[in-house]
Amino acid sequence: GQNIDQPTEMTATEGAIVQINCTYQTSGFNGLFWYQQHAGEAPTFLSYNVLDGLEEKGRFSSFLSRSKGYSYLLLKELQMKDSASYLCSRGGGNKLTFGTGTQLKVEL
Amino acid sequence: SAVISQKPSRDICQRGTSLTIQCQVDSQVTMMFWYRQQPGQSLTLIATANQGSEATYESGFVIDKFPISRPNLTFSTLTVSNMSPEDSSIYLCSVPSRPGQFFGPGTRLTVL
């Protein structure tokens, strides 16, 4: 199967750190992607993990454990503009399979 | 990243009619993908459009409902046929990127 599970909603405070978790089924795995999608806009690429460990890119980091079928996206120094949906996506061949997305709300 | 345009950006259609959505890319790509995003939901792959061959449809999607054309390496169309209100969604095309995929701006379809 291709089930990808992530929390539906999260709320965090401006300036704080938030971690969005994602679990997926490991068969045929070919990389784990995180996309950001603001309301009414197309998804935009944030990060990609194919090997275990942490990938850091500015305020955003993504972690992968292939044996556990687990990833997380870490957002530091949250800003109001980070309020968006964050989509965990599993690569398999040329295809991407998306989770339901986590709607993050950043509050003052 | 590629530059992708979609037409129309949005439309309101009557039940039983059909709408053709266009996707134009500024570079040649072997594969183009069509997704549906229903209200409040994530993206679901409809089909992969390959130039010179029939599109490959995912489970739950059929050619009669979602015919796809791919006349060249920079263009594809998706038709939503015999529409019902359940077809109200955002339809997005995407192309391979390194890594992952790059998405077009989407077409917001409302069926009354």
CA–CA separation, A19 vs A34, rounded Å? 12
What mean pLDDT comes out for the span B59-66?
A: 96
What mean pLDDT comes out for the span B60-71?
A: 96
The pLDDT value given to residue B49:
95
Give tens-digit pLDDT for B18-31.
999 999 999 999 99
The pLDDT value given to residue A2:
58
The values of phi and psi at residue A80, to 5°, are -60, -35
Q: Does B42 touch chain A (CB under 8 A)?
A: yes
Q: Does B43 touch chain A (CB under 8 A)?
A: yes
Say what percent of chain A tops pLDDT 90: 84
Q: Which residues of B touch A50 (CB under 8 A)?
A: 99
How confident is residue A26, by pLDDT bands cut at 50, 70 and 90? Answer: confident
| Contact criterion met (CB < 8 Å) for B97 and A95 | no
What mean pLDDT comes out for the span A71-97?
A: 93
The pLDDT value given to residue A30:
80
Q: Which residues of B touch A99 (CB under 8 A)?
A: 42
Best of A34, A35, A38 to disrupt the B interface (most B CBs within 10 Å) is: A35
The pLDDT value given to residue B52:
83
Q: Which residues of A touch B42 (CB under 8 A)?
A: 87, 98-101
Q: How many CB atoms lie within 10 A of CB A26?
A: 13
**For residue B94, is pLDDT > 60?**
yes
The pLDDT value given to residue B58:
95
CA–CA separation, B51 vs A84, rounded Å? 34
**For residue A33, is pLDDT > 60?**
yes
**For residue A28, is pLDDT > 80?**
no
| CA-CA-CA-CA torsion sign (A81, A35, B33, B38) | negative
| Contact criterion met (CB < 8 Å) for B92 and A42 | yes
The pLDDT value given to residue A1:
40
Q: Does B66 touch chain A (CB under 8 A)?
A: no
Of B31, B41, B108, the CB nearest to A94: B31
CA–CA separation, B21 vs B32, rounded Å? 13
What's the mean pLDDT when you consider all of chain A? 93
